[in-house]
Chain A
Amino acid sequence: MSNALKIDAGLGSPTVGTFMPRLDLGAALVEGQVVGTLRKAGKTLTLRVPPGCAGVAIEIVPAGSWVEYGAVLVVAGEGGGAVAFTAQSAPDEADVPEGVQVIRADTDGTVYLRPDPASAAFAEPGSEVSANATLALVEVMKTFSPVRAPRAGKLIRVCVDEATSVEAGAPLFWLE
């Protein structure tokens, strides 16, 4: 069992293999619905619609297609009163209010917002943080470095999701 990838155009393949659709054109894409199967190294994966999708299938890759990771399996269109696949818009730099400091990644890496998967986040939107408080960890080649608050203040926005890959300079937090 595996979720299909949510991509701009619709649903993408989460790995390599031979795809067999189990979905009809015009079918509504709702979370948990079976999209099809993927045959990979003698094993069969059942692919489902991941959370956060809406719309209908307007194009489906032919049965028996061999696909790479990320290849389009299903093109989604509008339907059922929902707009398909609106990507979460990144906070616009121009919107940064006066008096708000943007804390940025100082290196390429993967951002973790909690010390380990079982723990609470270091800080959440609305948290009052003290100067030098750890806000996140950035992992680079298995080395973790903290992202610290440059001063005391209120965190008004967290710009990344847990385990997001970022490039140096990417905004991570807004600090008021």
Chain B
Amino acid sequence: MFRRILIANRGEVAARVARTCAHLGIETVAVASTADKGQAWLSAVDRVVVIGPPRASESYLDADALIEVGRHTGCAAVHPGWGFLSENEHFAARCEQAGLTFIGPSSTHMRTMGDKSLARATMGALGMPLIPGSKEPVANVEQARVVAEEVGYPVLLKAVAGGGGRGMRAVDTPEQLASAFEEASAEATASFGDGRMYLERRIVGGRHVEVQILADAYGNVVHLGERECSLQRRHQKVLEEAPAPGLSVEERARILPIVTDVVRRSGYRNAGTVEMLVDQSGKAYFMEMNTRLQVEHPVSEAITGLDLVEWQLRVAANEPLGFSQDDISVQGHAIECRINAEDPDNGFRPSPGLVTALRLPEGEGIRVDTALASGDRISPHYDSMVAKIIVHGKDRDDAIARMREALAGTTVEGVITNVGLHQRILDWEAFTSGNYDTTSLESEFMKEA
């Protein structure tokens, strides 16, 4: 196992990684921008290096600076967390060249999965069910039109380099295609420096269900069940749960072994998530694979009792998975609410500033992941995460009841948060019945926006 690692991230995920490292006796070096100096989470690591100014491009995204710190402080490996450089294959390759183990998959797998069109082709060839669509990127509107006629409208245009909904457009009729293509491609060029597009049939009323994977260097691959992340606003997940109410027993039994098998045959290693779209008939299709730890990983940890960061570290250190699929059993039901400093009544405008009081729930079946303490500032430079509240109950109703209690015991003063929105979601019939899709939250709670 590694003696010391660099955490190439900040905030909540840095605190999360540090916690498991402390448990395993691994020393941690954290980096901080000047905006983060003195924040509570930095007290949980063994050493802090001030790396740059608040702007992420000159601090948490400065690959040279991160590698320099990792080498100077004698780290053996780098944990990239999520966001920032976690899916940047060039950073992964440079870490390896500098003698630092990148805690994640190979840079080759990151490149394949980062190119959404290539990921589709690769996973499809290995047997993953695909939404009908283009087999390779479409170069222009004419090519897009040919594929759209083949698969049938409505279609979804997506950026090859896409993420977070940027460079994506729904197209209902042939008349809309040309302008949608130009807009989406321009947006993709601006956001990712890559304007290439691909196209799929648009599944209306679909559900976002994703499978958590763990793979070692010896071909052992297991899944930790699935998560449902259909409650989103502007493609940002708000509340996640596991198991997924949107996946039938039969479809679960069909699709999870396919996913595990495809990932095994792709040669992938470390933790990863296969995101799928489930259509109204209940069938699951491949959307994309995320080659990193996910924000919502705690719900999978809750229902399986496994520590995903621990296994990321062990697998990266060439240890075999100490268990097989048969050893993993899903227990009960887990829900995660992302508490963000934002104003749901004002277009979800971010609400950074000083957190003057912070009271977070505790108790049996309640877990809180946070990097903050009273008196910390939520910086305008980074994401607006206050905390993630995760509950684990014996079944879904029990988990919902626990989450109601947990939210009632949550106080955040000084900034506006979405705690009230989460409380309304828990009392909303579509949620309590489990009968919701990726459009439900916006149509119920963002009517005026």
Contact = CB atoms under 8 A, between A and B. Distances in A.
Interface string A147-176: 000000000000000000101100000000
A16 to B, nearest CB: 5
Interface residues of B, number: 34
Given A69-B53, A143-B350, A40 B380 contact: no
A52 to B, nearest CB: 17
Given A68-B50, A69-B53, A108-B380, A40 B68 contact: yes
B69 interface: yes
Contact of B98 (A41, A167, A168): A41
A93 B62 CA distance: 38
8 contacts: A15-B58, A15-B65, A16-B51, A41-B94, A41-B98, A141-B382, A143-B349, A165-B54
A43 B71 CA distance: 14
Contact of A110 (B59, B71, B381, B384): B381
A17 B73 CA distance: 11
Nearest to A141: B350
Nearest to B71: A41
B139 interface: no
A64 to B, nearest CB: 12
Contacts of B351: 107
Interface of A: 15-18, 40-43, 66, 68-70, 107-110, 139-141, 143, 145, 165, 167-168
B34 interface: yes
B40 interface: no
A40 B34 CA distance: 19
Contact of B349 (A40, A42, A145): A145
Given A68-B51, A109-B380, A16 B34 contact: no
A108 B384 CA distance: 12
B379 A41 contact: no
B44 interface: no
Contacts of B352: 107-109, 140-141
Interface string B335-370: 000000000000001111100000000000000000
Contacts of B19: none
Contact of A108 (B34, B52, B72, B377): B377
Contacts of A70: 34, 50
A168 B378 CA distance: 12
Given A15-B64, A16-B65, A16-B68, 5 more contacts: A40-B64, A41-B64, A41-B94, A68-B51, A141-B350
A16 B67 CA distance: 10
A144 B150 CA distance: 40
A141 B384 contact: yes
B35 interface: yes
A66 B72 contact: yes
